[in-house]
Structure 1
């Protein structure tokens, strides 16, 4: 009797489960046919920031050149000339002027004359001679340069002193390459030209 009751209870339980499953199966299609799903937008946690377009950089207006107004009969103005750089002098073509002091003292002029001869500079020595005698006779530049340039001991002025108003007496020494030595003496006559004391004549007082 007890086993029968248990079998009946088990059957009842199984039946209940089947009925419950059938009920669920009937309700499922209804749920699926209720309609399409609708998507609801969610709020963005980072709101978009609108960027304003860049502002243009203002450019100052450029002044327009004033138009030249030419009236009838009025000459057209020529444009200003472009400055040109001065051409530089060619050093090879530049000849420096012969430098000479300007002695007004007669003794100083005679000393400068013999100093130039000691350097065999006949051209400079001629600048201490009166203009009408320069480069001629005893003052020929080529002859003077040749003679005073052939010295083993160049000519050297030993003494120079005034001998009157327009004369200077001198003593000098030199040794020629030939071996001939000279201890000479001379009297130099001078003349004044344009405020300068210039040699007019030299008179030897011994053999050299």
Structure 2
């Protein structure tokens, strides 16, 4: 008797076929549920599509509404009135140590045609009130210019150290070669009300200062 004619043969064949069917179905379900990776490495892997990220609340910009009418320009600020600028009070503080000759010239007596010795003394003390020792030394005779009290640097340093600069009170001639000069200044807490007798001399056609005798 051949094996195919026995009952056991057909039972074994049916069981083998059923096992193959179950294995095929399991493989098919596994293959369709998980995508297979591309083989060979020759195919370019496509990037996975990601959902667009919405901007956070801090970076959301709201577009302004467009108006049909043109924008109205803002009015220009009105300029400050000049009267208000001129009426500002001057700052209160310590008087400057050095003043210009133009500011101190108002204290000098106005004379239509002063004589040469009065003019020389006036210009000398005007330079001292501005702490300009170089200009003041130009009105001193050459023999004493740059020496002692008539030194340019000494005069600039001394008259520039005043708390209140030198202020000329009056200048008047005493005789043909002597001029009286009255002035005041303050060093720290000490105020000087000075009177000086200035002796002049003609040198090379110019009237210059030769000697000064003063109380302070």
**Where on the TM-score scale, by shorter chain, does this alignment land: which range?**
0.3 to 0.5
Q: Which has the larger radius of gyration?
A: 1
TM-score normalised by the chain length of structure 2: 0.46
